[in-house]
Chains A and B, each alone.
Chain A
Amino acid sequence: MSLLMIFRIALKAMGRNKMRTALTMLGMIIGVAAVITMVALGTGAQSSIEAQIQSAGTNVIIVSAGNFMAGGVRQGQGAASTLLPEDAAAIAPLPGVQYVAAGLNTRGQLVAGNQNWNTQVQGTDVDLPLIQAWQIERGAFFTPQDVTTAAKVAVIGSVVRDQLFGPDANPVGQVMRIQKQPFNIVGVLAAKGQTSMGQDRDDVVMVPYTTVMKKIRGVTFINNVTVSAASSNEVKVVADRIATLLRVRHRLQPGDPDDFMVRTIEEMASVRKEATQTMTALLASIAGVSLLVGGIGIMNIMLVSVTERTREIGLRMAIGARGRDVLLQFLVEAVVLSLFGGAIGIALGFGLSRGITFWMEWPTTVSTNAVAVAFGFAAATGVFFGFYPARKAAALDPIDALRYE
């Protein structure tokens, strides 16, 4: 008997009991959809991290104060007071270093007119837009002059603009209060969108780091230094040079732990990448369990079906069906059941992923790989769980089957 014929017989058999067929497929549908969605979430997170590295520049090095890896009192990253503006200045002339920007952050209440907004105020230097590829939409970034004089000038992100002035307003030249002090707005940053972690990169205010030091927080230290290497092959070497320099400047004896941390963007990202990978694997295996349960559902229904159709099997054998014809008939039925379920599951998984991106704004990527694997897995499930019932049917004795009540 041709495979096409068997396929048609399977479709007919499924059509005779539509409700049961639908319910059996539901297990498969949910399983496959879950796997697709979970993997899409994981892949989406991965690729957005990668995109971030690309946009942040592969050659970026972050120096932060304190060392959360060292023993003793554990301080938050960048919370220690060990990093000074002079350190940043000393890094700049090192060979291989292209741009350097000292950073000191604070949270602050922003007020403009009768509008309020609370956000991160990022004290930084003029090189930061060059390192992080920020575009200026209106106005200009603050100048080296502003940094030296600790001028009260600010560049705002589009979210802050929307909150304080409205999306269509031009805030350049207007005054905004940060912690009750008046700041001149000199520029608006072009929108960059969210990070994979859900942070809104446009919800930001940038001011000279010297202004945060002297006018807002009244401190003499900085939190971090963002450095870019001239070439991406040199990143590791430059990072080592910075570490050596800082140990000397901070008069650390051999054996003393670093009181700072030097990490490349890629190192930082790889930690997050590993975390998302683990998460993806975990979610996918939970989803895999539901696929397994779907497979067991198919086996259950196929067993019931073989028992119910014992007389039919006997009749088919009496008129010339061989064992393998019967085996193939039930096997194909199980596989068709799981493939249909799989196909619908893929569509559903695709829709769910889209929905998650749309409603929850999490990045998802449905890769053709994941679809192929899910589909293959569905087929395999059909074969695996369909084989036992099919073999049971094929092994029936024609006479016993015909006599079956």
Chain B
Amino acid sequence: MPTVISVKNLIKTYAVGEVEVRALRGVNLDVERGEFLAVTGPSGSGKSTFMHIVGCLDRPTSGQYFLDGQDVSRMSRDQLASIRNKKIGFVFQGFNLLSRTSALDNVELPLLYAGSGMKGPERHKRAMEVLKAVGLEDRADHHPNQLSGGQQQRVAIARSLINNPSILLADEPTGNLDTRTSIEVMDIFQRLNRERGITVLLITHEHDIAEYGTRMVQFRDGQVVMDRPIQRRRLAQDELVTLPAAQAV
């Protein structure tokens, strides 16, 4: 399997007043295509900082980052924007949907910036497809405030999928969700990972959520302190069958 993400001696420091905060202190990590990487670690250990750099939202202070073999640290703002648009899908803890905008329009949003000149009806069709993939085709016209937390997160996942990214980055996507909804979201991630071969990077500080991945890395004080494959992987699909459907959507 080819290496999708390769970071070498990644360092990120923030200057807050006089103090220098060293959020990342030399991270080395390679991620292969098709991996489902669970990133764990205590609060403030640098997980989000790491993910922002991997997602081309932020640049490292020093060190190298190769995405599909390309040196990202040399790219311009616009090139980074284009990579975020086409290669990467983001799912945030706080959903980050546009309020007073229908689920369908929210999902379509990345298409508008894709520069493909796709026409309205075609965009709608694409958006409906991904909404169907997350099981929300009947909620397309709902605004975020008319959706449950789990549904909102699924809209956000649909949005991250619309440009067929090769990498999905999720920063505590289940942080605001209950157990069953969390498992449902994990089911979607596992299916995307399995069926479409999308590389998933999932940040979580819940150990049992991390076990849905294929590999787990742990951060502490801006460094990777543990990196191991997951032995007994949990399968959300199977768990959903046995779980009572009482809290179902």
Contacts and interface: CB of A to CB of B under 8 A. Distances in A.
Contacts, number: 60
Interface in A271-296: none
A402 interface: yes
Contacts of B109: 316, 319
**What is the interface residue range for chain B against chain A?**
20 to 34
Contact of A318 (B82, B84, B86, B117): B84
Contacts of A360: none
B108 to A, nearest CB: 10
B90 A318 contact: yes
B159 interface: yes
A2 B117 contact: yes
Interface stretch (A85-93, A132-140, A196-204, A320-328): A320-328
Contacts of A325: 113
B82 A320 contact: yes
A398 interface: yes
Given A398-B57, A402-B96, A317 B81 contact: yes
A324 B77 CA distance: 11
Interface in A1-20: 1-2, 5, 12, 16
Contacts of A321: 81, 113
Contacts of B52: 399
A306 interface: no
B90 A322 contact: no
Contact of B112 (A5, A315, A318): A5
Given A1-B115, A315-B96, A323 B159 contact: no
A12 B109 CA distance: 14
A124 B11 CA distance: 102
B225 interface: no
B90 A319 contact: yes
Interface of B: 52, 55, 57-58, 77-78, 81-82, 84-86, 90, 92, 96, 98, 100-101, 109-110, 112-115, 117, 159-160, 163
Interface of A: 1-2, 5, 12, 16, 311-312, 314-325, 397-399, 402
